[in-house]
Chain A
Amino acid sequence: KAGVTQTPRYLIKTRGQQVTLSCSPISGHRSVSWYQQTPGQGLQFLFEYFSETQRNKGNFPGRFSGRQFSNSRSEMNVSTLELGDSALYLCASSLGGISGANVLTFGAGSRLTVL
Chain B
Amino acid sequence: AQSVTQLDSQVPVFEEAPVELRCNYSSSVSVYLFWYVQYPNQGLQLLLKYLSGSTLVKGINGFEAEFNKSQTSFHLRKPSVHISDTAEYFCAVSNNDYKLSFGAGTTVTVRA
Contacts and interface: CB of A to CB of B under 8 A. Distances in A.
Contacts of B99: 33, 45, 48, 56, 58
A11 interface: no
Q: How many interface residues does chain A have, given as a range?
A: 20 to 34
Task: Point out which of A33, A98, A100, A106 has the most chain B C-beta atoms below 10 A from its C-beta.
Answer: A100
A46 B73 CA distance: 26
B70 interface: no
B17 interface: no
Interface string A25-59: 00000010101000000110100101000011010
A65 interface: no
Contacts of B90: 43
A72 to B, nearest CB: 15
A101 interface: yes
